[in-house]
Amino acid sequence: MQPQHIPDLISKLQARLATAPLAQEQAMHMIFPHASATRGGAAQKTRKSAVMLLLYTKEEAWHLLAIRRSADGGAHSAQVGLPGGRHEPSDDSLLATALRETYEEVGIAPNHILPIGALSPVYIAVSNFEVMPYVGYWHSQAPLVLSSYEVDEVIELPLAKLLAPGTKAAVSLRTPAHLHRTVNAYCPSENVVIWGATALMIAELEILLGA
């Protein structure tokens, strides 16, 4: 299923992802200003995974769909992230991984998503995953069905608020992987803090949207 009409924002972003240089180094400076390399410290053999940055309209405003992962005690327990997960041998590609995982986690069928393009891959040292972020347009919205095992809640993020000046801030976090860490993060509301790899992906998307 393809959308009957592709909005201008999606068309422009699709063209930028297809032709323009990506912007991970600039995004790294926004989120990790003291990092010396975009992929430093990656293991020689990484586990592959993929996530989906889903853009959609609600009440005439653009949104990004995020999730809060289940509190399972793992490295990413209770964190705000994006639908996605590890690549399986049955997946034809990493894009297929992102689409499958999105369906499994939040119930959005692959034919309701128009893939737009890919951002820069991101290495996550704590889990040794190399994550490929894809951008998609969720054009045929239907009620979500959450995986009770993997997802605690869906978080709908209005782009105008998420990317507004002043939304990013230095925050101090306590996580299973880091007992204490100060990071730059997106803080669109009091109980939503988006940091780490997810923040890096959103920052690259922000740069491309503003290019």
Checking if the pLDDT of 210 tops 50, the result is: yes
Return the minimum-mean-pLDDT range out of 79-93, 137-151, 173-187: 173-187
Angle among Cα 46, 50, 51 to the nearest 5 degrees reads 140
Tell me how long the chain is.
Answer: 211
Domains and their CATH numbers in the chain: 8-210 (3.90.79.10)
The 3-state secondary structure of the chain reads CCCCCCCHHHHHHHHHHHHCCCCHHHHHHHHCCCCCCCCCCCCCCCEEEEEEEEEEEECCEEEEEEEEECCCCCCCCCCEECCEEECCCCCCCHHHHHHHHHHHHHCCCHHHEEEEEECCCEEECCCCEEEEEEEEEECCCCCCCCCCCCEEEEEEEEHHHHCCCCCEEEEEECCCCCCCEEEEEEEEECCEEECHHHHHHHHHHHHHHHC
Compute the average pLDDT of residues 32-44: 57
Amino acid present at 143: P
The CA distances from residue 160 to 63, 74, 163, in Å, are 8, 32, 6
Residues in CB range of 51: below 8 A, 6 or more apart: 81, 82, 83, 84, 85, 98, 101, 131, 132, 133, 134, 198, 201
Report the DSSP pairing between strands 129-138 and 113-118: antiparallel
Residues in CB range of 147: below 8 A, 6 or more apart: 104, 105, 106
Checking if the pLDDT of 172 tops 90, the result is: no
Cα–Cα distance between 120 and 198 in angstroms, integer?
Answer: 12
Return the minimum-mean-pLDDT range out of 46-55, 154-163, 172-181: 172-181
Q: Categorize the per-residue pLDDT at 4 as very low, low, confident or very high, splitting at 50, 70 and 90.
A: confident
Give the tens place of pLDDT for each residue, 65-110. Answer: 999 988 665 555 578 999 999 999 999 999 999 999 999 999 999 9
